[in-house]
Amino acid sequence: MSKQDVQETTHFGYEQVPVTDKASKVADVFHSVADKYDIMNDLMSAGVHRLWKRYTIETSGAKKGDTILDLAGGTGDLAAKFARIVGPNGLVTLSDINGSMLENGRQRLTNMGIAGNIEYVQANAECLPFADNKYDLITIAFGLRNVTDKDAALKSMYRVLKPGGKLMILEFSKPVVPGLSTIYDQYSFKLLPLIGKVVANDEDSYRYLAESIRMHPDQETLKGMMDEAGFERTSYHNMTGGVVALHTGYKF
Residue 96 annotated as lining a ligand binding site: yes
Is 124 annotated in a binding site? The answer is: yes
- Other CB atoms within 10 Å distance of the CB of residue 198: 10
Question: Does 34 carry a binding-site annotation?
Answer: no
**Does residue 168 contact residue 248 with C-beta atoms inside 8 Å?**
yes
The angle subtended at Cα 238 by Cα 236 and Cα 241, nearest 5°, is 160
Q: Are strands 161-172 and 135-141 parallel, antiparallel or unpaired?
A: parallel
Please give the Cα distance from 72 to 60 (Å, whole number).
17
Annotated binding residue 125: yes
Cβ–Cβ under 8 Å, residues 123 and 148:
no
Alpha carbons 178 and 6: distance in angstroms, whole number: 41
Which amino acid is located at 186 in the chain? Q
Neighbours of 107 (CB within 10 A): 12
**Amino acid of residue 221:** T
- Residue 29 backbone phi and psi in degrees, to 5: -60, -50
Annotated binding site for S-adenosyl-L-methionine: 75, 96, 124-125
Show binding-site residues. 75, 96, 124-125
